[in-house]
Amino acid sequence: MGQTGRWLAAVRRARVWILAAAILVAIIVASGSRWDFLLGILIFVLALLISVMLHEFGHFITAKKFGMRVTQFFVGFGTTLWSVFRGETEYGVKALPFGGFVKITGMTSMEEVDVADEPRSFRNQPGWQRIIVLAAGSFMHFVLALFLLFALALGVGMAENSNQISAVTSCVPDNVTAVNSATPCAGGGLGTSPAVKAGLRASDRIISLAGKPVTSFNQLHSVLKSQQPGVPVPIVIVRNGHELHLTVTLAKVPKDSVSYLGMEPVTIYQRDSFGGSIAFAGSQFADTITSSVSAIGRLPAAIPDLFAKDRAKTPAGDVSSVVGVGDVTGDVVAASLPWQAKVTLVMYLVASLNIFVGLFNLLPLLPLDGGHLAVVIFERIRAWFARLRGRPDPGLVDIQKLVPVSLLVFAVLVGLGTLLIAADIFNPVHIQV
């Protein structure tokens, strides 16, 4: 391997060590916190490790499928703890469990390959096969995200507000914003709430309002929207298995189009059907791709505000490093939430992270997979034009000429990653869960 090849190998190793350092920082930052917070961090680290391994497995399995020579597939980096040969491939575990790697012979035109192995080298295969192998890493990120979203809908269920009362609000809020806040009566309110006056209690289930049957919160909301405030209406509830017929006079919150009752609904988790779960996963996947592309586009504008006092209110509040995402995962696990809510939020985080990483990795920039994809596509387009002109295939792109660009992009990515990590440590964005 020449000097340039050693530079590229160093770049690949450096990417791994930066990721490892970020994960270690996340754990160290959390070490002084509660055990449940630390558990959330460790869950995130494990999910990240699985994601990285699946990424490498995508490259591995497709390269094997096309008959390319794969010499190594390892979990972790550093000193080898255990390995075994199966055929021509060495499988093993290394000391630092911060990802993994797969080594495919002849990945670039600069790599020195034994003459006997050249026919099975990556660079000697048809362009479409090389494209599939390079794209397989991001594809595995997308598969994992779709699986998590599907499992979420089918196994855990989606949160829905029910017609059962979780808590009764003591006052009528004095503004629309306060209606959905955690402290609706912080401003003193506009008097006692209709729910309190009517004698409603937590755990009551509303089955009828103004003579209209109610079986869900959405139906209750529709009835409230159709009623005039200040007019007494009948309300039927179930308490301890018995129906009670009461009367309630709904109130008016300024600038709110819905008459006010003064109750918080119980949240239930409704599992979807198999087909519905597939549709849900597809819909959420598409929405997350849109938001991920938007987040990538907002990244340059977010940099000046990473250390701003009000970071959460700026574009920098929407971007984060693995340290920040790990911190959020810890917050979720440590929060006083039902287990379904915690599992839902963590699965959303992991799925969103995989979609973002999968998209980012496809950017046409070396040393990302997308950069190598762009090189292969350029080679095939150039070969097509050569055929049209009756000329021979120009062959592989001289990667050595692209090394300075690759190193520049790598330096920018390292700098950006360092800034994000530093911001998430010294100026974190806290979420309300």
Q: Kindly list the catalytic residues.
A: 56
Angle at 59 between CA 51 and CA 353, to 5 degrees: 25
Nearest-CA neighbor of 426 among 304, 308, 313? 308
The DSSP line for 152-183 is IIIII-EEEEEEEEEEE-SB--SSHHHHTSS-
Q: How far is it, in rounded angstroms, from Cα 362 to Cα 307? A: 29
Q: Where are the alpha helices (DSSP H) in 116-163?
A: 127-151
Q: How far is it, in rounded angstroms, from Cα 195 to Cα 79? A: 66
φ and ψ of 263, to 5 deg: -140, 150
Scored b (16 or more CB within 10 A) or e, 302-336 reads bbebbeeeebeebbbbebbbbbbbbbbbbbbbbbe
* Contact status, residue 235 vs residue 211, Cβ threshold 8 Å: no
Q: How far is it, in rounded angstroms, from Cα 8 to Cα 399? A: 10
Q: How far is it, in rounded angstroms, from Cα 210 to Cα 342? A: 37
Q: Collapse the DSSP code of 22 into the 3-class scheme (helix H, G, I; strand E, B; otherwise coil) and give the result.
A: helix
Q: Collapse the DSSP code of 55 into the 3-class scheme (helix H, G, I; strand E, B; otherwise coil) and give the result.
A: helix
> Which amino acid, one-letter code, is at 152?
L
Q: How far is it, in rounded angstroms, from Cα 398 to Cα 392? A: 17
Q: How far is it, in rounded angstroms, from Cα 281 to Cα 152? A: 9
Residue 175, C-beta contacts closer than 8 angstroms, at least 6 positions apart: 187, 253, 254, 255
Backbone dihedral region for residue 391 (phi beyond 0: left; psi -120 to 50: alpha; all else: beta): beta
The DSSP line for 368-423 is SHHHHHHHHHHHHHHHHHHHHTT-----S--GGGGHHHHHHHHHHHHHHHHHHHHH
Sign of CA dihedral 424, 428, 431, 433: positive
